[in-house]
Amino acid sequence: MSLIILDRDGVINHDSADFIKSPAEWEPIEGSLEAITRLNHAGYRVVVITNQSGIARGLFDVDTLTNIHRKMRRMLAQVGGKIEAILYCPHGPDDNCSCRKPQGGAYTELAHRLRIDLSNIPAVGDSLRDLQAAQAVGAKAILVKTGKGIKTLEKGIPNGVTVFDDLAAVVDNLLGDTA
C-alpha cells in the first residue's frame, strides 16, 4: 500500500487568514474530497499533518479541532473516502517545537509509528513550511496553487518541488489519469 501526506488548510479545505476556528468555517476545496477518495480506491493511505497554532493562540481548543476533523471525516465518508490519521501541532510559531512545520518532527513521528522510511513519499502542501518539512525527511514535496500556494510560488520554492493547480491535479498525476 502507498502513502501520501497532506497538509489540511489550503490543500483539502479553504484556508483563512483568521484561522479555521469552528466546524462551520471548514469548507472543502472543490474536488479535494473526491481526490482523496480516488487515492483510497487506488490503495493509498492518506495522512494529514497540519500546524494548528490557533490552539496555542487561544482561538479554539482541542475539542473544537476534534469537531472540525470529525466534519472533515464525515464529509469525506459521504463520497467514499477516508483519512487514516491526522497529526497536528498545537504550538505557536514562537514555541520552537520540533513538530511544527517547517521542522520535520511530525513527519518523523509518522515514520516511527508506521515503521517506514518517508523517502520519496508524496507530501502535498500550499506553503513554504510544508515544503521544507517534507524535504527535511526526504519526502517528495509537492506544492498546490490553492490556499497560499500561488503566493508561495511567487516568493520562490526550493529546488525539486513539483507544482500542481490543486489536489485533484496531484492525484491525476500520481494515478496516471489524463482526465
Cα–Cα distance list, 4 to 33, 61, 96, 111, 155 (Å): 14, 27, 26, 12, 25
85-89/122-125 β-pairing: unpaired
Q: Which residues pair with 140 in a beta bridge?
A: 122
- Residue tagged active-site, from 7, 15, 126, 166: 7
Nearest Cα residue to 101 out of 116, 113, 89, 117? 89
- Residue tagged active-site, from 9, 15, 126, 130: 9
Residue 15 is a catalytic residue? no
* Grid cell digits, residue 49: 499533518
87 and 133 in contact (C-beta within 8 Å)?
no
Find the DSSP H helices in 18-158: 32-41, 62-78, 105-114, 128-136, 149-155
Residue 9 is a catalytic residue? yes
| 6 SS3 class | strand
Catalytic positions, please?
7, 9
